[in-house]
Amino acid sequence: MPKARGLARHMASVRRSSARRDKQPCSKQSSAGTTHNWGKMKSIADIGPSTLVCAVIGNPVAHSMSPAIHNRAFAELGLDYVYVAFRVRDVGAAMAGMRALGNFRGMSVTIPHKVAILDHLDEVAEVDRQIGSVNTVVNDGGRLKGFGSDGPGALQALSDAGVRVAGKNVTIIGSGGAARAIAFSLATTTRPASLCLLGVIEPELRALTRDVARKTDLKATCAMLEAKALPAVSIKVRLSFVGVQVHHSEATKLESPAGGGSPTSMVANLLL
């Protein structure tokens, strides 16, 4: 999962940089004023005043595998962290709560908050500000910093599957934060021949198409999601809940409408 890799990788880098400063078991003063001991967390019985909290926020989140993935990663890395899931309707209030809770270290962000959350952050990486969405927030002493890993994660999954995007016609089904990140990553990194965006929320869909066309030189079009709207494409990226699955034409064939062109040769399901 792109967002899972983003937060876990960031926390691992924090631990490695801290360990380099002191070869002995190291400690860190949290913003709550407690001393944090690395290498402590082994089971739920180890949760204490110094334990740092991470979470995934979204609506809904009941389907999320992030707590299982992150808590296992934290245990393997010996980090005194715990990871939970919060259903959030008011993202601004959630960010205020994150600032107020000194032990709240990091957050994964899923739908529908990946775009709206930018208005409540203190710092956003320039590339993610350009894209217009983030999926990871780090609380650095009360200063909230946003990052995105949806785009790089999707590109890595396509690369790992041996998919060459350059010169291909690509369709993305979805227009939210993950679709936004992936569309910009494809447009600026892999250079497809064209990009077609299909979605069910028309204002969001048109805004994303306009932004891609304006901020990159890629030919981008959009249409509301229905069977007759599916163009003749080489690669289709479909965004839905719950990792990344890549299917080649031998496993999945989607015929183009009215015999218009060749069938889809590859489908990538991004399960959020």
**Residues contacting residue 7 through CB under 8 Å, at least 6 positions apart:** 54, 70, 106, 107, 108, 136
Whether the CB-CB separation of 249 and 224 falls below 8 Å is answered with no
Distances (CA, A) of 182 to 2, 6, 128, 161, 189: 11, 15, 11, 16, 10
Catalytic-labelled residue, pool 114, 145, 168, 253: 114
Burial degree of 259 (CB within 10 A; 0-12, 13-18, 19+): exposed
The contacts found for 164-167 with CB under 8 angstroms, 24 or more apart, are: 165/190, 165/191, 165/192, 165/235, 166/190, 166/191, 166/192, 167/191, 167/192, 167/193
- Distance in angstroms (rounded) separating the CA atoms of residues 270 and 272: 6
Q: Which tokens in the block code for residue 52?
A: 């740092």
Cα dihedral across residues 143, 121, 36, 23: positive or negative: negative
Q: Can 253 be counted among the known catalytic residues?
A: no
Task: Tell me the catalytic residues.
Answer: 114
